[in-house]
């Protein structure tokens, strides 16, 4: 049977003394809590964000609808060639 080198290595590695117990660095808990607080704030602001986003969508729809409804009127405001000719004829007929 082939010798299991990994098993031998792992057995020796297991017997190695454990490192020093983990000492929490100063301020670590404060950093964790500050980061937790930082994440909470956007969550609390979420209802307002959703409301504002809805309002923006509504405003855009109203704008598009009003442009569509008044499209003809907006288009006719452009002085066409017929209108210019008509105006010129009327001017020439004036006393």
Partner 1 sequence: MAEAGLDMAACLERVRQRDEDAARALVRELYPLVMKIVRSHLPRRTDEEDLAQMVFGKIFAHVDQYSGSVPFEHWVSRVAVNTCLNALRAEKCRPELRWADLNEGEAEAMERVVATAKGPDPSEQLTARELAHKMLETLLPKDRLILTMLDLEERSVEEVRERTGWSGSLIKVRAFRARMKLRKQFAKMMQE
DSSP designation for 77? T
Q: If you compute the radius of gyration of the chain from its CA atoms, what whole number of angstroms results?
A: 39
Nearer to partner 1, 20 or 95 (CB): 20
Q: Which stretch binds partner 1 (CB under 8 A): 5-13, 46-54, 59-67, 81-89?
A: 5-13
To the nearest whole angstrom, how small is the minimum distance from the Cβ of residue 36 to partner 1? 4
Half-sphere exposure (CA, 13 Å, Cβ side) for 62? Answer: 6
Nearer to partner 1, 40 or 92 (CB): 40
- Residue 1 interacts with partner 1 (CB under 8 A): yes or no: no
List CB contacts of 67: < 8 A, sequence separation 6 or more: 74
Nearer to partner 1, 33 or 88 (CB): 33
């Amino acid at each position: 049977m082939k010798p299991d080198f990994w098993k031998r290595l792992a057995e020796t590695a297991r017997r190695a003394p454990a490192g020093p117990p983990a000492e929490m660095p100063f301020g670590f808990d404060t950093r964790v809590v500050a980061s937790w607080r930082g994440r909470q704030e956007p969550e609390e602001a979420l209802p307002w964000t959703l409301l504002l986003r809805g309002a923006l969508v509504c405003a855009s729809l109203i704008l598009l609808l009003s442009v569509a409804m008044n499209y003809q009127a907006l288009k006719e405001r452009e002085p066409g060639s017929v209108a210019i000719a008509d105006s010129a004829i009327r001017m020439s007929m004036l006393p």
